[in-house]
Chains A and B, each alone.
Chain A
Amino acid sequence: MSDENTVHITSYKEHISTWAALMLLTFMTVAVSVFGAELRTLSVATAMIIATVKATAVGYYFMHIKYDPKLYKWMMGTVLALFVFFMIMLTIDYLTR
């Protein structure tokens, strides 16, 4: 077997940095929604992009996707692509209705 049973010990520094980044992104989401409310569609799009970055960070660092085989990264990527497609089609429907 390759690295399937390997234990990955990550540093406190990496954990805390990831956590700090997530907190910062959360504040950014709140700030955009409060101070950028007049931007309407753009503020929603910004919130979605930030949420995607946060989900990626959680998956990559906290859930150890970074240590997994490429197949799992492809699986995660496919799921993300499906979600993006869903949002694009919804947006097309709303903007052209």
Chain B
Amino acid sequence: MTVDTLPYTTFYKAKKGIWSWLFTLDHKRIALLYLYAIISFFLVGASLGILMRLELLNPGKDIIEPHTYNQIFTLHGVIMIFLFIIPSIPAIFGNFFLPLMLGTDDVAFPKLNLLSFYLYVIGALFALATLVFGDGPADTGWTFYAPYSVKTGTNVTMSVLAAFILGFSSILTGLNFIVTIHRLRTPGMSFNKMPLFVWSLYATSWIQLLATPVIGITLLMIVAERVFGIGLFDPSIGGDPILYQHLFWIYSHPAVYIMALPAMGVVSEIIPTFAQRTIFGYKAIAYSSMAIAFIGYFVWGHHMFTSGMSGPAAIIFSILTFLVAIPTSIKVFNWLATLYKGSISIETPLLFALAFIFNFLIGGLTGLVNGALAADIHVHDTYFVVGHFHYVMFGGTGFAFFGALHYWFPKIWGRMYNKKVANTAFTLFLIGFNTLYFPMLILGIMGMPRRYYDYLPEFTFWNQISTFGSWITVSSIILMLANLIIAGRKGKRTTDNPWNGITLEWQTKSPPPVENFTKMPELPEGGPYNYPNAKKA
């Protein structure tokens, strides 16, 4: 039997029963397992965020005690960083679409892929178990800064072990993707003919592989310090707390790019598809992903300007930080240039991509304020940083994640969602998001410190606006997810290629068959974004 005559059975129907899902080696099923798990943890993290905003509605106590507040913002951070943003796009859409975009039938190591998923689940269980074991979740913040993390009586050990296990999941996924990209590209697909989402996953995977082991060891050092009192970070027994910050941020700054780069890859897919136009500056976008991944290693010290690090080191890190802005802005300029003279169709995924650019621009520019040594001394550890971070992570990666969900939804489920409801949810989401986080930038400049349970009366107005924004945001997310869930079950059947995309995943059936393609996919002539009906400028 040749590949042309293979019968078509979707990957949903190929095997039945719970065990066929729990022990599947199919990258598409593993991607969906990740999807359901990650969305669940996102909802838990979002609920904790809503609780925090409710507490901050008025000065003084509203609904929770100060100690509980400290634990909630720590757990919110751990869940959102390690269980949602880091794995979200690579583990779900990377797993599902990397082999499809490369024109192959699976990732290089399917069993390792399943192991990565179970490591993720075990790590997640460790994080959630801190709620019921010992003295409750850690109250250190997601950064676990020493020496407090060494001395606090809360369940730091279990929290850092959760992050340690999740790190292994991340490393194995990165390794799997690198080998898949090097070895399993369809014949004729050179590196410079790969889709830009694949490029972004490639850059991300290298960061996962090289940076994550550092945080693994560092977190084990925290456990060793707590159990044996070695004197690594605790100054009272000869340790250096700034060394902990160095080691932590050597991973955690590149980790910001683990979160952001796949999002940029998603935007690079959505924009040419909905502009029906060849992407402007393909190589510039592709290589800027690698440049961001590379330069991202050299800037960790900008998180430590006020920590007591030396002046010369701070100056060097500040200069290096500004270099990261260059490849990032190369991408933004190229996306905008792609839209120019395109046949633009305003669909929900494109709206999310445009919102990504808007939010990421605010997040990026406020990042430059933090990166400037003198300005950072004023805004460090204020709500300005919280606002900046959420603009980059939630406004950037979060919007790209939901954009990707709407973009590839018809391919994954073979059905289309209600576009009017999707656009309404998007509009509410954008308004709610900016109402929630822009006041934080103002509060930070006014001088409100981050992680504080209580605040002065002059901060009340903007805190209340922010909390009001959180209600709009959560309503929009509920509406969006309800629309997608209903569409997944009862949505109108759609064609295999409803957006007229030309990357290889659009050449197969929706939903795809187990082996991904019923016939050999054909590479588009002239590169992955050479749209045949594009207007000639």
Check A93–B210 contact: CB distance below 8 A: no
Given contacts A82-B297, A86-B250, contact A92 B313 (CB under 8 A): yes
CB distance from B312 to the nearest CB of A (A): 5
Residues of A within 8 A of B297 (CB): 82, 85
Within 8 A of B (CB), among A34-59: none
**Which B residues are within 8 Å of any A CB, using their own CB?**
210, 242-243, 246, 250, 294, 297-298, 301, 308-313, 316-317
Check B310–A89 contact: CB distance below 8 A: no
Cβ proximity bits A67-97 to B, threshold 8 Å, 1 near / 0 not: 0000000000011001001100110111111
CB distance from A24 to the nearest CB of B (A): 27
Check A82–B316 contact: CB distance below 8 A: no
Given contacts A79-B210, A89-B316, contact A96 B301 (CB under 8 A): no
**Chain B contact residues: over half helix, strand or loop, or mixed?**
helix
CB distance from B299 to the nearest CB of A (A): 10
Residues of B within 8 A of A82 (CB): 210, 297
CB distance from B190 to the nearest CB of A (A): 14
Instruction: Give me 14 other A-B pairs in contact (C-beta within 8 A), A94-B310, A96-B310, A96-B313 excluded.
Output: A79-B210, A82-B210, A82-B297, A85-B298, A89-B301, A89-B316, A90-B243, A90-B246, A93-B242, A93-B246, A93-B310, A93-B313, A95-B310, A97-B309
CB distance from B209 to the nearest CB of A (A): 9
Tally of A-B Cβ pairs under 8 angstroms? 32
- Most B CB contacts (10 A, CB to CB) among A78, A79, A94 go to A94
CB distance from A78 to the nearest CB of B (A): 8
Point out the residue from A86, A90, A92 that lies within 8 Å of B312, measured CB to CB. Answer: A92
Look across to chain A and name the residue whose beta carbon is closest to the beta carbon of B313. A93
* Distance in angstroms between the alpha carbons of A96 and B308 in the assembled complex: 11
Check A92–B246 contact: CB distance below 8 A: no
Residues of B within 8 A of A95 (CB): 310
CB distance from B200 to the nearest CB of A (A): 19
Look across to chain A and name the residue whose beta carbon is closest to the beta carbon of B312. A96
Look across to chain B and name the residue whose beta carbon is closest to the beta carbon of A78. B294
Point out the residue from A85, A89, A96 that lies within 8 Å of B311, measured CB to CB. Answer: A96
CB distance from A23 to the nearest CB of B (A): 25
Given contacts A82-B297, A85-B297, A85-B298, contact A92 B310 (CB under 8 A): yes
CB distance from A94 to the nearest CB of B (A): 8
